[in-house]
Homo-oligomer: A and B are copies of this chain.
């Protein structure tokens, strides 16, 4: 079976035709003229045809050489297009982006972001999977998983995109009563709704700006495993609760909830992007992560 054609030789031949000499072709291609001479000779050997007539101080193309050159020019032009098309796709990504995010964070932050992403990159499609079960990146169906909280497996390739604060909130119509709570110890006896979707939902560590820490064990007569549901319960006067800022930020601004103990900070959590193992990042993934990072920075700055 005949050996495959060596397409790399085409560029040596084309350079000679275009520059008019082996010497100039060598200069253009940054190789020695012996290489150009040899490569073209081998091409002629492979074709069993003379492509170039080597006259004194002048190289001219034979008739068959001219025909072959037209093909070469076309091939090399399209090859250049092919390679640059790929680098173009970094700026103008294409394809379907498949993202998973936790329910709460997804609804509050990712869903509006996806709409903006589609506006920015009309050649992309998005498939957004919301859920609190950790989707398996290994299955290869996903481009990106957004993790909120604390990563259990530090071996994953995670990229931190932002942080979220946790706020102690209560219903707005109990402002008078809640104004008297000035210290975490004042929470004793106050109704508290525990979020059983997280581990150890009653043990909390408060911190002031002076780095004073108080660890408080709260008591709860009501526990729910859904943060949005807890938020609704708080609004209905069922008690206080600790919820992530991205979930309650809007209700605080609208006066439906009020923050209790605003001078005391609770532990922050990470917002991370977890990516499947891959050597290269598709433009669509890079673009989306960058938008999410910017959105998180804007949210924190407001």
CB atoms of A55 and B85 under 8 A apart: no
Which residue on B lies nearest to A46, using beta carbons?
B83
CB atoms of B7 and A49 under 8 A apart: no
Say whether A229 faces chain B, with CB atoms less than 8 Å apart: no
Copies of this chain held together in the complex = 2
Chain A contributes a number of interface residues (CB within 8 A of B) equal to 48
Say whether A48 faces chain B, with CB atoms less than 8 Å apart: yes
- Say how far A186's CB is from chain B's closest CB, in angstroms: 56
Q: Which of A73-81, A153-161, A236-244, A292-300 contacts B (4 or more CB under 8 A)?
A: A73-81
CB atoms of A50 and B85 under 8 A apart: no
* A282 cross-chain contacts in B, Cβ below 8 A: 49-50, 62-64
CB atoms of A8 and B11 under 8 A apart: no
Say whether A29 faces chain B, with CB atoms less than 8 Å apart: yes
* A30 cross-chain contacts in B, Cβ below 8 A: 1
Q: How far is the CA of A117 from the CA of B60 in the complex (A)?
A: 26
CB atoms of B79 and A75 under 8 A apart: yes
Say whether A72 faces chain B, with CB atoms less than 8 Å apart: yes
Which residue on B lies nearest to A94, using beta carbons?
B63
Contact of A71 among B5, B11, B55, B78 (CB under 8 A): B78
- Say how far A163's CB is from chain B's closest CB, in angstroms: 30
CB atoms of B5 and A6 under 8 A apart: no
**Given A78-B78, A282-B62, A86 and B50 contact (CB-CB distance below 8 Å):** no
CB atoms of B83 and A5 under 8 A apart: yes
- Say how far A62's CB is from chain B's closest CB, in angstroms: 7
* A86 cross-chain contacts in B, Cβ below 8 A: 47, 49, 64, 67-68
* A49 cross-chain contacts in B, Cβ below 8 A: 86, 89, 280, 282
Say whether A181 faces chain B, with CB atoms less than 8 Å apart: no
Q: Which of A91-113 contact B (CB under 8 A)?
A: 94-96
* A78 cross-chain contacts in B, Cβ below 8 A: 71, 74-75, 78
Say whether A53 faces chain B, with CB atoms less than 8 Å apart: yes
Q: How far is the CA of A1 from the CA of B6 in the complex (A)?
A: 23
CB atoms of B82 and A50 under 8 A apart: no
Top 10 A-B pairs, shortest CB-CB distance? A71-B82, A63-B95, A7-B7, A50-B280, A47-B86, A75-B78, A49-B280, A64-B89, A49-B86, A63-B94
Q: List 16 additional contacts besides A50-B280, A63-B282; criterion CB under 8 Å.
A: A4-B8, A4-B11, A8-B8, A10-B79, A48-B90, A62-B282, A63-B94, A63-B96, A64-B94, A67-B85, A67-B86, A71-B81, A71-B82, A74-B78, A75-B79, A78-B78
Interface residues of A (CB under 8 A from B): 1, 4-8, 10-11, 29-30, 44-50, 53, 55, 62-64, 67-68, 71-72, 74-75, 78-83, 85-87, 89-90, 94-96, 140, 278-280, 282-283
